[in-house]
Chain A
């Protein structure tokens, strides 16, 4: 949760204690719901029935500071008591340790409205479920500094992960890494063919670390580009949701679409090598010192973006929390200047200097 936001939202409910966080651009939201059975004692308390449960938020760092060193906690702490004292405005964390030592931490909290991202896994057209280990092994091939990754479905039921390169960055400078996973590496695959989404890797890595440590399979629910992707972990006493914004359709068209035949799916017998002969000819006869510009393929015209009225309605994505900064369009905030109406130049006026001989599948 600390990888996502600076504040930890606590909400005790009848169905358990919910811990949540959201990032500043409201493009990532996570919630961990611990069922009452997870605890030795669970009293959500609260005033008379019919009124809402008490909610608050605390500084993430303060909360984490109490549980700083896991190994020493495991050795010395017998019980941990979490107590909300609304009238004293304090969240009490009490660690009952060995030898009769009790450490009591009083954290100041702020009351807050409900933090709830609006999402519905049932509305997602695609779903993947895999052991966390498989996804962790997949993600290791991408550099730690990589911001965004694209998840796509390809021919033969294969699932691909590819680093997302921004439109503006020179295509001739950036290394592109793509990983293909076979359908049978997943526990279940129910995807609409040709779909692909781009989301931020950092928060996803955080969830993967947790999933791997708790040995839980991870389910990914996604839909069209622009609609959020939802990662879930399920256990008898714990329910985890991570909701991330995805890049909307306009930007994703500038990448070589996975849906078209010109995909980079490697075949097992990759026998032919590329012939750069024609490229070299162009290079030799060029009078310009630096050589001709990199050859490009005519970019495919995008599918018309499905701009349903619902998609424009930002309220579908996140619940607004009054008192916090005005609700901004998470897409534009998250992806900065990349989002331009009308899309980046896609006109096939670039001179094709060499054919794509690697394209056949």
Chain B
């Protein structure tokens, strides 16, 4: 089981750091899955996470100049690692002017992801900073716990409003309540509502569009036949929503959410080379 990768281009490094920063805001510990073509950051829906789960996918070719991976076995050419993304974020934070960044799976006092940063210096040789980030190797027998979650049978699917606006609304609401209700319909309308003993606040968004979902096997999509004005709603932990929005440092190409009434909200944020899905369960 080996892994080594190298980033030389500063823009790629910057981009990769931003992805890691986003992940670090969403999960204290998560799973990193490495395959020949892709990297995945996975958070499965355990009680410890408050039931939220995450699936983030990157094409390695868009970030790394070199990428070599050898999985646990030929027929299972993948590596699953448990790590604290905040550590990776910290290691990359001071690497923004680096000549090269290498990431390697090593075995020091324990399995580690070693990030080796080559920095420019006035002397003849470069400065080298290494960060040994301890990781847990996840054995093959529990890889099934980390399968890609399927898109739920949603009631409504809608594009999100401008994330910056949504973020500032949610941040203010967070001061008033621990829970927020997201509701939306198939006419491009979304409301964010909070209700406490003293006050209720609703922010209305209009003219958002609803993404067309082609159903896979030709049978009716779950939204067909639904009244266009009828709202699907879910009451969720506002902190989780705020963390998701706060972690977005760049505007995604596409941002949408799927609501299963009173069950779960599924957020999909798509960038050119990164896709992030985040599931927040509804609370009673």
Chain A interfacial positions (CB closer than 8 Å to B) = 137-138, 140-141, 143, 171-185, 256, 264, 266, 270, 273-277, 279-280, 283-284, 291, 294-297, 354-358
Contacts and interface: CB of A to CB of B under 8 A. Distances in A.
Given A273-B4, A280-B137, A171 B128 contact: no
Interface size classification for chain B: 35 or more
Nearest to B102: A270
A291 B136 CA distance: 10
A195 B87 CA distance: 29
Given A178-B129, A279-B137, 11 more contacts: A175-B91, A176-B108, A182-B121, A182-B125, A264-B108, A266-B128, A273-B68, A274-B106, A276-B1, A276-B2, A356-B108
Given A176-B132, A182-B124, A275 B1 contact: yes
B3, B109, B114, B134 — most chain A CB neighbours (10 Å): B109
Nearest to A284: B139
A266 B104 CA distance: 12
B133 A171 contact: no
Contact of B122 (A185, A264, A266, A295): A185
A175 B87 contact: yes
A270 to B, nearest CB: 7
A175 B91 CA distance: 9
B110 interface: yes
Given A175-B133, A177-B91, A273-B3, A182 B127 contact: yes
B90 A175 contact: yes
Given A175-B134, A264-B130, A276-B1, A141 B94 contact: yes
A48 to B, nearest CB: 55
A274 to B, nearest CB: 5
A143 B114 CA distance: 17
Contacts of B128: 179-180, 266
Contacts of B105: 273-274, 276
Given A276-B1, A279-B137, A140 B94 contact: yes
A183 B125 CA distance: 9
B127 A181 contact: yes
Contacts of A266: 116, 128, 130
B165 interface: no
Interface string B1-29: 11110000000000000000000000000
Given A141-B129, A273-B68, A280-B1, A182 B123 contact: yes
Contact of A291 (B104, B127, B139): B139
A173 B130 contact: no
B134 to A, nearest CB: 5
13 contacts: A172-B110, A174-B134, A176-B132, A177-B91, A177-B130, A178-B129, A179-B130, A185-B122, A256-B109, A266-B130, A275-B2, A294-B109, A295-B109
Given A177-B91, A291-B139, A356-B108, A184 B124 contact: yes
Interface in B71-113: 72, 84, 87, 90-91, 94, 102, 104-111
B107 A357 contact: yes
B131 interface: yes
Contacts of B127: 137-138, 179-182, 185
B107 A279 contact: yes
B85 to A, nearest CB: 12
Contacts of A291: 136-137, 139
A185 B105 CA distance: 30
A266 B111 CA distance: 17
Contact of B109 (A172, A180, A184): A172
B1 A358 contact: no
Nearest to A355: B107
B121 to A, nearest CB: 6
Nearest to A291: B139
A26 B130 CA distance: 33
B140 interface: yes
A141 B130 CA distance: 10
Contacts of B121: 181-182, 185
Nearest to B139: A283
Contact of B107 (A174, A182, A276): A276
Q: Which 5 A-B pairs have the closest CB atoms?
A: A294-B110, A184-B123, A172-B110, A276-B1, A176-B132
